[in-house]
Structure 1
Amino acid sequence: MAESTIWWLLAGGLIALELLTGTFYLLMLSLGVVGAAIAAHLGASVTLQLVVAALLGGGGVVAWRSVKKHQPPALPAGANRDVNLDIGETLHIDAWNEDGTSSAHYRGANWTVSLRTGAASSPGLHRIVEVVGSRLVVEKV
């Protein structure tokens, strides 16, 4: 079996494993293995093929880790507008209960509403900042 065929089989195995686990790092390693397969097609020695695989795969992992490190952490699903389209919407609160909750009619249903930590309870227009179960967490607009 040719060396390039072995590299291509390894690349396919890494890609299949990545699809099963969902880790992007395996995809970076598979790029290194693809680089080694191309080096094998070009007639490079086994040592050079291994160096290409290590540099491309390891470099891809380091680069991806660096990109992920400099990104802000993802918001929890209850406060992430990409997950929950209610975040950022407004609703009117008529009055607050003594326990810091209220009830509001929103999207055709009655919801329990609570204030974001540290916010003062006053009637008026409020913005939804988080959804916790069936409770809307709001702040004054």
Structure 2
Amino acid sequence: MTPFTVWCVLTGLAVLAELLTSTFYLLLVAFGLMAGALASWAGASLSSQVLIAAFTGGALVLAWHLWRRRHPAEAPAGQNPDVNLDIGSTVQVSHWESDGRATVQYRGATWSAEWRASPTAPVAAPGPHRIVEVVGNRLVLQAI
């Protein structure tokens, strides 16, 4: 087998592993392996092929890692105000049950609500609360 064929087989195996594991980093390693294949096709020496493959794959992995670090994943849909427009709205709670649940009127309907402790309000008390999350058809509230 020619070195070009070996590089292509390794690239294919890396892509297959990425498809099976859904690890984007393996796809970047596959790009590095393909760079080694292209270097082989261009007639570079074996040591140059390995260096080009390692540098390309490593640089892509590092670049992706740094990009992901600067762009954290979005909040889950139940906590993301861009997805759920109820997040940040206020409701009035007249009475809390002993288990930290309440029934509130919101948008013309009765909703089940639960209380989430905050540093400023460690105990559930009646009054205005802000919606911080929606879990199914239940509002998660925090005191204002």
Q: TM-score, normalised by structure 2?
A: 0.73
SS where residue 85 of structure 1 aligns? coil
RMSD: 3.1
Q: Once structures 1 and 2 are overlaid, which stretch shifts more, 44-53 or 6-15?
A: 6-15
Contact kept? 2:79, 2:87, Cα under 8 Å = no
Quickly say closer, same or farther: Cα 1:9–1:132, change in 2 above 3 A. Answer: same
* Structure 1 residues not aligned, in runs of 5+: none
The answer for the alignment partner of 2:57 in structure 1 is: 57
Instruction: Name the SS for the 2:134 alignment partner.
Output: strand
Identity of aligned residues (%): 40
Q: Is 2:140 the partner of 1:128? A: no
Q: In structure 2, how many angstroms separate the alpha carbons of the residues matched to 1:46 and 1:109? A: 71
Aligned residues: 139
Amino acid at match of 2:16: A
Q: 2:98 matched to 1:96?
A: no
CA 1:12–1:107 in structure 2 vs 1: closer, same or farther (change >3 Å)?
farther
- Compare 23-32 and 88-97 and name the one that shifted more: 88-97
Question: What does 1:62-73 align with in structure 2 at a 5 Å threshold?
Answer: 62-72=62-72
Unaligned regions of 5+ residues in structure 2, if any? Answer: none
Match of 1:138 in 2: 141
Query: Which position in structure 2 is the counterpart of 1:9?
Result: 9
Does the 8 Å contact 1:79/1:87 carry over to 2? no
Cα distance in 1, alignment partners of residues 54 and 75 from structure 2: 34
Instruction: State the distance in 2 between where 1:107 and 1:18 align.
Output: 46
